[in-house]
Amino acid sequence: MNVKNVLNIPGTSEQIDFCIPEERLAQISRYVFASPVRVNGQIANRAGVVTLSFRITCSLLVTCDRCLKETVQELAYDELHTVVRSVASKEDEDDYVIARAECIDPVEIAVSDLILELPAKLLCREDCKGLCPVCGCDRNVTECGCMSER
């Protein structure tokens, strides 16, 4: 995406709205996306400070790590980055989006953000009780009493 106009003219902005390609999502292991991953937002120059802000929305097909139940979870993440032409040192590269040759790759930026935001532990719900380690019943549905006997 060429961002030359936004970089050079304070007060300008450009909208972004796209879906991350399925072949790019297939490279993210362990996660199954139940719907397209949508990204919408804008890149804007306000008083010479250029920001890239967007929202990532998606549906994940989740197999709960505790009870093994499959559910679909709707997720939304808001992201904000400062866009610069260059940085003073290598250490600063992780803090900014660098517009080399006045271009950025919004798909790559969104994928990187998505990977960092996806939950490490997949649960059907936050208070999932899981399966009984003795008899295997779903403790969200029934109390088996196995654990109280120990």
What is the structure's pLDDT at 144?
A: 86
Answer positive or negative: Cα dihedral of 52, 58, 62, 66: positive
Specify the higher pLDDT residue, 94 or 55: 55
The pTM for the full model equals 0.85
What is the structure's pLDDT at 86?
A: 86
What is the rounded average pLDDT for all residues in the chain?
Answer: 92
Termini Cα distance of the chain: 62
Would you kindly state where each structural domain of the chain is located, as residue ranges? Answer: 4-149
Q: Is the pLDDT of residue 42 over 90?
A: yes
What is the structure's pLDDT at 146?
A: 85
For 3, phi and psi rounded to 5 degrees?
-115, 25
Strands 38-46 and 32-33: unpaired
**What percent of the chain shows pLDDT beyond 70?**
97
3, 22, 63, 128, 146 from 69: Cα distances, Å:
45, 25, 6, 10, 21
Mean pLDDT of 102-116: 95
Q: Is the pLDDT of residue 31 over 60?
A: yes
Reported as a single tens digit per residue, the pLDDT across 59-88 is 999 999 999 999 999 999 999 999 998 888
